[in-house]
Each structure stands twice: as structure tokens, then as C-alpha cells.
Amino acid sequence: MLKEYLRKYNLKLINRNAEAKIRELMSQCEITPLTKGQTDDIQTYFKKVLGCKVPTLWHEYFISRNGEFSVKYMPSSIYYSQIVWRLNYNDFSRAYSDKGFYDFFFSDVNRPRTIVKNINGYYYDDTKPISQKEAISRCGDIPRAVAKPTIGGMRGNDITVFSSVGGKTDGGESIEQLFSRYRQNFIIQEYVHQHDEMSRLNPSSLNTLRVLTYRDSTQVYALYAIARIGRMGEPIDNLSSGGIFADVDLHTGRIRKCGYGAPSENNISKTDSGTQLNDFSIPSFPQVISLAKELHLRLPYFNLIGWDFAVDNQGRPLMIEWNRSPDIYSQTAHGPAFGDMTDEILQRVRTLPDTLTLL
């Protein structure tokens, strides 16, 4: 009885929040209504592969922005309520995705160097426990570093880029105050010096790639890759901070057509630094895709993962983080999130248990 109540409550909350978000986005751009024929085609398709009808607000939004009709666009309400927590095991999601544990799970992977991290109030130097005094001392004089939450941080929220001299940051905080602001479960990492070509997209931000991978048995597939690019003067590349996102062709590693920004910004041809987006070649792209597939096999409780990678100044893929429930608003730039594998994935989720209800 309680389990069923919680399931219904969770689904109601997910659907309400998802619909509120899409309506807010739609209010910020010009929307072209779907035709009756398009709506009928969408409902016929989802009824066949998923067994239910779906809200079409997301189709309307994506099609209005990129001009490309497809029945396979994935509504976020359906994705979060019926798909992601069937493909991924919710009970393990929070602990596995804690960035404080990356030094354990991905010790052999090229990542930003950890200066100090806090896990549940305890301080560590990668895997070795240290005192708070030692942690503060290690952050006292740093040319440039990044502080961020290790649990729950989303879309670039609460990221601090800073330098420090004599225990004071360039923002005027003491290191003690910086630590106090984050309280616990945070990490301080060395700032990444990215590849010159990635810097050309925007020199003030670390410009990254979001790669969505899907696992079926021992095979991992890359579903899409999106270049995420910051705006001039901004330190992060997230869309929520005004960033640009553009689809990268999985076969060529080149940006396809144009970029997109806020809901009112379509068909962006150049970045703020003047770099042409169409046909821009992402350095070391095949290595990024290969690494994403390889690392996915280390996380057997998760069949759908969003990976964030940079390319460092030596041309090596550099893992930033992985996401257990990646958002799929990149459909604006890429098209349907699951692409040619949509039928297979939707038919598979009908056979999997809903782990969101296991509370």
C-alpha cells in the first residue's frame, strides 16, 4: 500500500515539474502548433512501442526550434517517469554518482587533479584522509582552481572558479569561508587547461562534450554527442548559464550545422569569439567516444549514462563527470535522443522493473 502510494506521488511530482519546465521554455520562443496529422502519427507510434499515449508539448517545442519533425522525440515527463529509472537502478544512483568517489572508481582515468575533497564531513587527498587544517593549507596558494559540490550539483550550479594567495581567494573569501559555504560533500580541483582548438570556441570557459551512451548486454552504443560552449567572459559552459550547445556528428567528429542557446536563440552560426560552428572539428573525438564506451562497462547498474568530457592541452580526453539521469533537452540540436535505437530502447523498458518506486 505505501509503496504504491509513493509510486503515484513520485510520478505525479515528476510529471508536474516536467510540464512546468517545458511550458516555461515554450513561453520564451515562437511555437508552431503541430498539425492533426503530426499529432496522430506521434500517438500511433508511442502506443505501438511504449503502450501508451504521450504529451506532445516536447515534440512541439523541439520541432518549433529546429524545424525537423520526428515522432521519436522523447517527452521529459515520459523519460523521467517511465524510462530512466527502468534503465538505471535508482537505489545505487546517489552513491555511485558522488564525485568524491571518482578517485576510487576512475583512478586510472585522465581527470582534473584533486587538491582536496570533503566526503560526509571528512577531508581527503584523493584516497588518503587528511585533517581540515591540512586541507585548508593545501588550498592556501593556488594559481587557479574549481570548487563544486560532489552530490546534487546540477547544470553548473554552485561552481566557483578561484585563485588564492595567503589563504585568501580572489573573490575576497578566506579558504575557511569557502569551505564553510560548501559545508560538506565538495571537491577542489586544479583548473583544466584545454586544447587550443576547444579554447577557440570560447577562451573563458572549459568547453565540454556531453556524450549519451546506452548499454545492451556487453555492447555500449553512443547515442549522441553535444558540444557545450560558454559565452564570452563566462567561466562555465552550461545552457543554464547562457551557453551554446551544438550537435557533433558521431562519424566525423565535426559540429553539424549550427548551435542553439536560450529558447529564443536558434541557428547560432558563430560563437561569441567568432569561431564558425558548422563543420568545426572536435580534437580527439574518436578517443572521447571510445573512452565513454569503455567506462560505461564499469557501471553495471546503469544502462543509460550522460558523460561530460573535456579535451586537455595535450589532446587527451579528460573525464569531468558522469550523469545517472542526464536531461535530454539536447534534442533541440541533435534530434530524437535515442535516434535509430528508440524502438529497441522503448520496447526494452516495458520489460524492466521501475526502480524509482524502491524507496
Task: Write the CATH number for 308.
Answer: 3.30.470
219 and 312 inside one domain: yes
For residue range 100-148, what is the model confidence (pLDDT) as tens digits? 999 888 999 999 999 999 999 999 998 899 999 999 999 999 999 999 9
Mean pLDDT (the chain, rounded): 94
Note the pLDDT of residue 103: 87
Residues 256 and 202 in one domain: yes
Residues 74 and 153 in one domain: no
Whether 290 maps to a domain, the answer reads: yes
- Edge-first strand order for the sheet with 304-311 is 255-260, 244-248, 219-229, 208-216, 304-311, 317-323
* 330 inside domain: no
Q: Is 44 helix (H, G, I), strand (E, B) or coil?
A: helix
> What's the number of domains the chain is made of?
3
3-class SS of residue 161: strand
On whether both 198 and 181 belong to a single domain, the answer is no
pLDDT at 169: 98
Provide mean pLDDT across the span 286-294: 98
Q: Indicate if the pLDDT at residue 240 is higher than 70.
A: no
Residue 169 identity: T
Going from the C-alpha of 266 to that of each of 28, 261, 270, 299, the distances in angstroms are 12, 7, 11, 36
Say if residue 31 is in the same domain as residue 60: yes
How much is the pLDDT for 152? 77
Report yes or no: 283 and 198 within 8 Å, Cβ to Cβ. Answer: yes
Statement to judge: residues 162 and 200 lie in one domain: no
Please give the pLDDT value at position 292.
Answer: 98
Q: Which of 78, 101, 125 is the last residue of a domain?
A: 78
Residue 179: domain span = 113-190
Residues 175 and 203 in one domain: no
pLDDT band, residue 261 (cuts 50/70/90): very high
* Cα–Cα–Cα angle for 26, 63, 349, rounded to 5 degrees: 95
**Cα first-last separation, the chain:** 13
Co-location of 266 and 199 in the same domain = yes
Residue 89 domain-assigned (yes or no): no
How would residue 276 be classed by pLDDT, with cut points 50, 70 and 90? very high
**Burial readout 82-96 (b: 16 or more C-beta within 10 A, e: otherwise):** bbbbbbbbbeebeeb
How much of the chain, in percent, has pLDDT values that exceed 70?
96
Grid cell locating 280: 568545426
Establish if 107 belongs to a structural domain: no
Domain membership of residue 304 (yes or no) is yes
Window from 21-25, 152-156, 168-172 with minimum mean pLDDT: 152-156
Residue whose C-alpha is closest to residue 261's, from 28, 20, 21: 28
200 and 310 in a single domain? The answer is: yes
Residue % of the chain over a pLDDT of 90: 86
Is 204 within the bounds of a domain? yes
| Stated length of the chain | 359
Buried b (16+ CB within 10 A) or exposed e, 133-163: eebbebbeebeebbbbbbeebeebeeebbbe
Give residue for cell 546540477: 154
Residue 154 has what pLDDT? 55
Q: Which residue has the cell 526494452?
A: 348
Is 109 in contact with 312 (CB distance < 8 Å)?
A: no
Same domain, 203 and 308: yes
**Residue 127 maps to a domain:** yes
Q: How far apart are CA 125 and CA 118, in angstroms?
A: 9
The answer to whether residue 174 scores a pLDDT higher than 90 is: yes
Q: Judge whether residue 239 has pLDDT over 50.
A: yes
- pLDDT for the residue 359: 44
**Distance of alpha carbon 106 from alpha carbon 312, whole angstroms:** 17
Per-residue confidence band for 156, with pLDDT thresholds at 50, 70 and 90: low
Question: Which tens digits make up the pLDDT trace of 57-89?
Answer: 999 999 999 999 999 999 999 999 999 999 999
- Any domain includes 73: yes
The verdict on 318 and 199 lying in the same domain is: yes
Question: Do 219 and 283 reside in the same domain of the chain?
Answer: yes
